[in-house]
Amino acid sequence: MARDPLYPLHNPGVPRALSIAGHELVAFSISGVSTYVLAPAIDACFDMGHCPVEGARLRNVLLTHCHQDHSLGVVRHRALRQMWGDSRSKVFIPEESRAALVAVLRAVDAMEGRGREDTLDKDVVGVRAGDTFELSKRTRVEAFDVIHKAPSRGYSVIERRRALKESFVGRPGAELGAARDRGEELYDYNDRRTITFIGDSTIETLERVDPAVFDCDVAFLEATHLGDTDRAVSQKYGHTHLDELAALFRRTPARFGRAQFVLKHWSTRYARDEIAAALRALPEAFRARITALL
């Protein structure tokens, strides 16, 4: 059925602030329009279909793939940081698409006639499935393969956290300083998986991926289609139907780990009330863990 071009979208174009499992994030996602998630605590953005000013303040950009609604904002991200005199953007991208992105960024430099130093060979990092890279001394990212129409990676963030050893708890600062001077280790360290981000994806990704990636605080999943849209359409374009997520949860709920889920990338063909109705039909145990990015 043809839509009135002015019918109300499920999202009027406004990013949403999310506070989930102790993480403060800003997210926006409409299929074909733009997807980005800002994670200030780790100085990173996941995907960048558009670059808001707040996003340009974050150095690291983790691109799942190079479709325009996930990657066009990289040009503005780089330009704004250069204009402000900030440290150079660091862009992580599937290795298969790295050369194409570098060519685009060099073309933009030539188009603008700027004689800036070409540091793209260092600033754009190709990522393969199984790679691990550091964002900081306490934060690293594991990359895994994602099934889509373009080469795609998912990203899972692991933070190293420390806690004062039990034997030192309650002791005065002078004693702690003396112990440190003697070379004693004051802290216990543990790793915690915090955020997992999957961009555009078929359901096969979730069926095949190591379930450990969902042993995290927050996981972003796509749910482009719902309702009467044929699942074959989702498969054809490399997307996921909400009914497929529900069916997978019913079959293997343990695969979904402990994560709270953010569902994103809804198609523009759906109005807000259609999505809300479809979410109400999900298994209750799954629905209780879901935030819909609307």
User: Which segment of 5-9, 52-56, 228-232 scores lowest on mean pLDDT?
Assistant: 5-9
Rounded to whole angstroms, how far apart are CA atoms 264 and 95?
25
pLDDT, tens digit (0-9, with 9 covering 90-100), for 239-271: 999 999 999 999 999 999 999 999 999 999 999
What is the CATH number assigned to the segment(s) 16-292? Answer: 3.60.15.10
Query: Could you state, in order of their start, the residue ranges of all structural domains in the chain?
Result: 16-292
Q: What does the alpha-carbon distance between residue 89 and residue 102 come to, in Å, rounded to a whole number?
A: 13
- Across the chain, mean pLDDT equals 92
Where in 124-183 does DSSP place strands (E)? 124-127, 132-136, 139-146, 152-164
6: pLDDT strictly greater than 60: no
The tens digit of pLDDT for each residue in 27-43 reads 999 999 999 999 999 99
pTM summary value: 0.89
Which residues partner with 276 through β-bridges? none
pLDDT for the residue numbered 160? 86
- The token pair that represents 162 in the structure block: 């420390």
pLDDT for position 1: 45
Cα gap 30→253, rounded to integer Å:
27
Mean pLDDT value across residues 116-137: 93
Residue-wise pLDDT tens digits, 127-182: 999 999 999 999 999 999 999 999 999 999 999 877 666 777 777 878 778 878 88
What was the pLDDT predicted at 3? Answer: 55
- What share of the chain has pLDDT > 90, as a percent? 80
